[in-house]
Amino acid sequence: MNVTINKQDEKTLVTLDGRIDSTNADQFQQDIAPLMEGDAPDIDIDCTNMTYTSSQGLRVFLLLQKSVMARNGKMVMRNMIPRVKEVFDITGFSNIITIV
């Protein structure tokens, strides 16, 4: 999983590329740690090239969503491929994270 973080004034653009599974979820959590703090909490995540996530990845997305909400921010995940979107649908994550 490659994580690209581009901090702008108002919000942060994030691009995810690859898989999130049990082997790299901890690393993924470390990679996105900068998004869990600061006073510009809005995040826009491009998921076009996120090919897979297990529950280990969902865990990190939920932590991030909680962190963003606690700072009154908004998190959006974009362009999720249908296979990955289904994982978010089944677990109810589509209802608690804005997916467009």
Partner 1 sequence: MTKKRFNPIKERSSEIVSFLMASPDMPKDPDLRFKIELSIEEAVENVVRYAYEGGIGWLEAGTKLDDESLILTIELRDAGTPFNPLEKADPDVTLTANERPIGGLGIYLCKNMMDSISYRYEDGNNVLVMKKQIKN
Q: Which residues bind partner 1 (CB under 8 A)?
A: 21-23, 52, 54-56, 58-59, 62-63, 65-66, 69, 83, 87, 90-92, 95-97
As measured in angstroms, the least distance from the Cβ of 6 to partner 1 is 24
Distance CA(20)–CA(84), nearest Å, equals: 11
As measured in angstroms, the least distance from the Cβ of 46 to partner 1 is 20
Q: Which residues contact 74 (CB under 8 A, 6 or more apart)?
A: 41, 42, 43, 68, 98
Q: Which helix (H) or strand (E) holds 93?
A: helix 93-96
Nearer to partner 1, 15 or 56 (CB): 56
Nearer to partner 1, 4 or 55 (CB): 55
Nearer to partner 1, 8 or 22 (CB): 22
Nearer to partner 1, 59 or 78 (CB): 59
Question: Position 8: which residue type?
Answer: Q
As measured in angstroms, the least distance from the Cβ of 9 to partner 1 is 26
